[in-house]
Each structure stands twice: as structure tokens, then as C-alpha cells.
Amino acid sequence: MTSAAKTEVDTLVVGGGPAGMWAALSAAECGMRVAVADDNPEMGGQVWRAELAKTAPEVAGLIQKLREAGVQLLAGTQVVDQVAPGVLLAEGDGGASYLGFGKLILATGAREQFLPFPGWTLPRVIGAGGLQALVKSGLPVRGKRLVLAGTGPLLLAVAAYLRAHGAEIAMICEQASRSALASFGAALLRQPEKLLQALSLRKALTGIPLALNCWVVAAHGTVAVEGIDIWHEGKVKRIACEYLACGFHLVPNTELATLLGCRLVNGYVEVDEFQRTSRPGIFCAGEPTGIGGLELSVVEGKVAGLAAAGREKAARKFFRRRRMLGAFARAMDRTFALRPELKNLVEAETIVCRCEDVSYAQLEREVSWRMAKLMTRCGMGPCQGRICGPVTKFLLGWSPDSVRPPLFPVTVGTLAHSFSGCNVDDNQER
Ligand SMILES: Cc1cc2nc3c(=O)[nH]c(=O)nc-3n(C[C@H](O)[C@H](O)[C@H](O)COP(=O)(O)OP(=O)(O)OC[C@H]3O[C@@H](n4cnc5c(N)ncnc54)[C@H](O)[C@@H]3O)c2cc1C
């Protein structure tokens, strides 16, 4: 077995999105030795990925400040396990590496929630954020006819982004009701910053039909999606499209926190006022503590970074803003809660676990997530239940009873390090 490189810091941040980057900068400016590990090729997370990290001055400026503060930016580094107290195992292009820390800040973000319906596995039926990420990485959509369907503000942000890149948006289908959105609008009035964002989105989307109380019931096509059926105002209507970008709000990435023994409440990592989790020395910031958007992630990151550096007094300065943004997060949870009718979209032969080709009929025979795993291999493919886990929670009320390492599929070499514990070659410090 080849030995693994080791990084040793006072504060390790896992996740290089807005929460992680600000946590790292805040801790580093207090004199801590800090590293940020992120599994993407560049820092930035979901909202600032690749393209923005190069072009948007505030993101490029933040990355520059991190470098000037001496923060080690470990891009392309996926944390997969804990091998000893204070030592995580990661995998990257250079193979396995150990990340040793005094304090740990988890800023692992969120992913899209998907729901199955007939045709959802057709090519070009894709996550809304996933399509945006592909376009950010160079996929051309100019002149393509798209429908966005599901729920949540991400649909609007992605629609505006895709339109700006030349796509023709045929329709946006939002499952939330008119009354739910009206009370969300009232919550926006108390958040001038968010209100401005909403108005600018509205302007960017002028002329695009937005249907409320509306959801996709099926996608059709031979080689790829050619059209979809939507349920709207008591009728099923067919719309032609070349892409269906679908997303039913977000689910937090809590797997690493769970593996490390941090307590979860209602599906989110429990934190106190200083973003401390239930495990000593482990903090959590951003979407794993609640889906609240960019600004809340930034503020939580700052609090976590300062608190990890022992600067509680400085961290307190951000409490008021965090409270205000937190109220908005709760309003989002209420507004974009999934309606029960969406449970009826799935048919017996609809595939639910895409990695292992497990149909809904196969799952209906089982009584729990564990039994489904044992009997059908549901959740045992490359995504490790990240897609079908939240789906079966919604459809069947199941919850995974544990998280097992490695958190992501790894090479056999990395797996060997997972079993052997911390075999460190000090000459290879990065
Ligand atoms: C697909 C998608 C697209 C989005 N697009 C927008 C948008 O256009 N506009 C907008 O306002 N909001 C968008 N959002 C919402 C956005 O996530 C938040 O507003 C904000 O980015 C949250 O910041 P964060 O730092 O908490 O998490 P994130 O930005 O998600 O950053 C978390 C980072 O941690 C990494 N990570 C997770 N686990 C590990 C691990 N084990 N090892 C190493 N790295 C790990 C992730 O890959 C990610 O880079 C999007 C969300 C998603 C899921």
C-alpha cells in the first residue's frame, strides 16, 4: 500500500462553497492555520462554481483573500471517512490523503431533491441545478426549448440563467399553491435584499409562462425527452421540449456530519448559536443546518470560522443578521413543502433507484430502507442513496438508519487506507 500525504491544520473546512470559504477566511484572519477541502475541481460550491469563480469580481476577490491569508485550498479533494479522532481520509487526483485538524467546520451544502415519474430516467430529463452546472461547464443551450418543473426559488434562478445563455424557456411549472406563494411574498417584504433579488428575477423572466399548482406527470420520447405532460388546473396538457429541468427544492448533505456522530433534528444538523454541533470541536455552517440560500450560508460561515478560532465576541456581531435570514429559510421550507399529490406520480414499473434499477413495485413489497437495501440493492449504487434516499423518505416514509464509510465510491487503494488507519508519510506534507 502506498503511503498517503497528510495535511495538518488548526481548522479544517469541508466544503468550498460560500459557507466554507467565509468560514475559512474568518478563521485564517484570526491567525489559525486553515485548509478547505472541496470535491469540485475549483472552489465556489453550487452557486459560485467554475464560471463565477473566474469571472465574478466578488468571488475571485474572496479566493484571492483566502490565498493571501495562507488558506490551503484543496480542490478536487473528496472527504470519504474518518480514520482516527481528528483525522479525515480524502481522495483526490493524487490518490488518498489524510486531513488532520484541531477544529472541523462542516460546510457540505445541499443537493437537489428529485421525485420519480414515468419517463424521469429519459436522457435530457435532468436536475435544474444539474443543467445549470453543465451549462456553467460549457454545455450549449442556445436555441434549445426547455421546461423547468418542480418547486423552489432555484427553478427561477436557473430559468433566468438558462435564458441569459440563449435557451428558450417554454414554461416554469411550480407545484406550490398561489396562497403559499402569497404568504412567501409577504415574508419577502420583510427582507429588502431578497425582495430586490425577487424583483430582478421577475424582470429577467418577463414573458415566460409561470404556472402555479402545476407539476409534471410524465416525460415522453424515444432517444431523449421530446415532450412532457403537466397537470394544471385540473387537466393534463402536453408541451414539446428538448430538455426538462426538474428539481423539488433541496436536501441537505448531512452524511459526513452523521458519520461523525453529530446530532440531526428534522433532517438538519443541530447547531447552537456559535454553529457548534453536538460533537466537541465540530462546527457546521450553510445548507446542512437548514436550506436558507447564499446570504445565510455566508453569515453562518463567518460565525463558525470566528467561533472555531475562539472569537465568540466577534461572532456575536452576526447573530442579528443570521436571525433575520433564518426567518426567510423557514418561510421557504413552508412554502415549498411537497404536496401529497406528488406521491401519486410514480407507477409500479417506474424506476426509483436509478443506480440499481429498482422499481417502485419492488420497493412497495419491503417494510424499511434497510430491508429494501438487503432485498433489492436500493441505495447501494454509486450515489449511495443520495437520490433514492430522499425519494423513499417522501414516498414510503423510510429513513436510513446509519451512514457507512466510505461516503462515496473510492479506489481500492483509498479503501485500504480507510481500513489501515492513519499511515502517514510526513515527507509528503502538502
Ligand atoms: C445544484 C444546485 C444549484 C444551485 N444554484 C444556485 C443558484 O444559481 N443561485 C442561488 O442563489 N443558489 C443556488 N443554489 C443554492 C445554493 O446551494 C446556496 O444558496 C449556497 O450555495 C449554499 O452555500 P453552501 O456553502 O452552504 O453550500 P454549497 O455551495 O453547496 O457548497 C458545499 C460544497 O461542499 C462540497 N462537499 C460536500 N461534501 C463534500 C465532501 N465529503 N468532501 C468534499 N467536498 C464536499 C460540495 O461539492 C460543494 O462544493 C443551488 C443549489 C444546488 C444544489
Atom of ligand 1 nearest to the CA of 130: 1
Name residue, grid cell 434499477.
357
Atom of ligand 1 nearest to the CA of 161: 8
Q: Is the peptide bond before 390 cis (omega within 30 degrees of 0)?
A: no
Residues with CB under 6 A from ligand 1: 14-20, 37-40, 45-47, 78-79, 107-112, 129, 132-133, 154, 157, 250, 253, 256, 286-287, 293-294, 297, 407
What pLDDT is recorded for position 54? 64
- Percent of the chain exceeding pLDDT 70 equals 96
Pair (133, 217) in one structural domain: yes
Distance 109 CA to ligand 1 centre (A): 5
Separation of alpha carbons 201 and 212, rounded Å: 17
Residue owning the nearest CA to atom 37 of ligand 1: 108
Mean pLDDT throughout 186-195?
84
List pLDDT tens digits, range 34-72.
999 999 998 999 888 766 656 677 888 999 999 999 999
Range from 87-96, 188-197, 229-238, 272-281 carrying the lowest mean pLDDT: 188-197
Question: Residue 422: is its pLDDT beyond 70?
Answer: no
Distance 53 CA to ligand 1 centre (A): 13
What pLDDT is recorded for position 74? 97
What pLDDT is recorded for position 402? 83
Which residue among 248, 272, 298 closes a domain?
248
340 domain-assigned: no
308 domain-assigned: yes
Provide the 10 A C-beta neighbour count for residue 93.
Answer: 8
Question: Residue 124: is its pLDDT beyond 50?
Answer: yes
Range from 115-129, 192-206, 315-329, 351-365 carrying the lowest mean pLDDT: 192-206
Question: Residue 421: is its pLDDT beyond 80?
Answer: no
Question: Residue 145: is its pLDDT beyond 60?
Answer: yes
409 domain-assigned: no
189 domain-assigned: yes
Separation of alpha carbons 52 and 58, rounded Å: 9
Contact 157, 201 (CB under 8 A): yes
426 domain-assigned: no
338 domain-assigned: no
Distance 310 CA to ligand 1 centre (A): 26
List pLDDT tens digits, range 363-415.
999 999 999 999 999 999 999 999 999 999 999 999 887 898 999 989 998 88
Q: Is the pTM of this model over 0.75?
A: yes
Residue owning the nearest CA to atom 20 of ligand 1: 294
283-298: string of b/e by CB count within 10 Å (b at 16+)? Answer: bbbbbbbbbbbbbbbb
Pair (96, 134) in one structural domain: no
Question: Residue 354: is its pLDDT beyond 50?
Answer: yes
Between 319-335 and 294-308, two packed helices, what is the crossing angle to 10 degrees? Answer: 140
Q: What is the CA radius of gyration of the chain?
A: 22
Distance 268 CA to ligand 1 centre (A): 15
Which residue among 333, 367, 383 closes a domain?
333
Pair (268, 360) in one structural domain: no
- Percent of the chain exceeding pLDDT 90 equals 81
Separation of alpha carbons 199 and 130, rounded Å: 24
Instruction: Count how many domains the chain has.
Output: 3
Question: In which domain, by residue range, is 299 found?
Answer: 5-111+251-333
Pair (303, 388) in one structural domain: no
Distance 291 CA to ligand 1 centre (A): 10
The candidate with the shortest Cα–Cα distance to 181, out of 335, 339, 340, is: 335
Pair (125, 183) in one structural domain: yes
Pair (260, 360) in one structural domain: no
Pair (276, 362) in one structural domain: no
Separation of alpha carbons 44 and 59, rounded Å: 8
Chain Cα centroid distance, residue 316: 27
Question: Residue 162: is its pLDDT beyond 50?
Answer: yes
Question: Residue 424: is its pLDDT beyond 60?
Answer: no
Question: Residue 191: is its pLDDT beyond 60?
Answer: yes
Distance 48 CA to ligand 1 centre (A): 8
Distance 293 CA to ligand 1 centre (A): 9
Name residue, grid cell 454553529.
275
Pair (144, 229) in one structural domain: yes
Strand partners, 98: 6, 89
pLDDT band at 186 (very low <50, low <70, confident <90, very high): confident
Pair (10, 121) in one structural domain: no
Pair (236, 274) in one structural domain: no
pLDDT band at 144 (very low <50, low <70, confident <90, very high): very high
Which among 108, 289, 297 is the best mutation to test ligand 1's pocket, defined by most ligand atoms within 8 Å of the CB? 108
List pLDDT tens digits, range 83-118.
999 999 999 988 999 999 999 999 999 999 999 999
| Cα→Cα distances 380→31, 253, 384, Å | 43, 17, 5
Average pLDDT, the chain: 93
3-state DSSP of the chain = CCCEEEEEEEEEEECCCHHHHHHHHHHHCCCCCEEEEECCCCCCCCCCCCHHHHHCHHHHHHHHHHHHCCCEEEECEEEEEEEECCEEEEEECCEEEEEEEEEEEECCCEEECCCCCCCCCCCCEEEHHHHHHHHHCCCCCCCCEEEEEEECHHHHHHHHHHHHCCCEEEEEEECCCHHHHHHHHHHHHCCHHHHHHHHHHHHHCCCCCEECCEEEEEEECCCCCCEEEEEECCEEEEEECCEEEEEECEEECCHHHHHCCCCEECCEECCCCCCECCCCCEEECCHHHCCCCHHHHHHHHHHHHHHHCCCHHHHHCCHHHHHHHHHHHHHHHHHCCCCHHHHHCCCCCCEEECCCCEEHHHHHCCCCHHHHHHHHCCCCCCCCCCCHHHHHHHHHCCCCCCCCCCCCCCCHHHHHHHHHCCCECHHHCC
What pLDDT is recorded for position 425? 47
**In this predicted model, which residue has the larger pLDDT, 189 or 375?**
375
Atom of ligand 1 nearest to the CA of 15: 34
Pair (165, 281) in one structural domain: no
216 domain-assigned: yes
pLDDT band at 427 (very low <50, low <70, confident <90, very high): very low
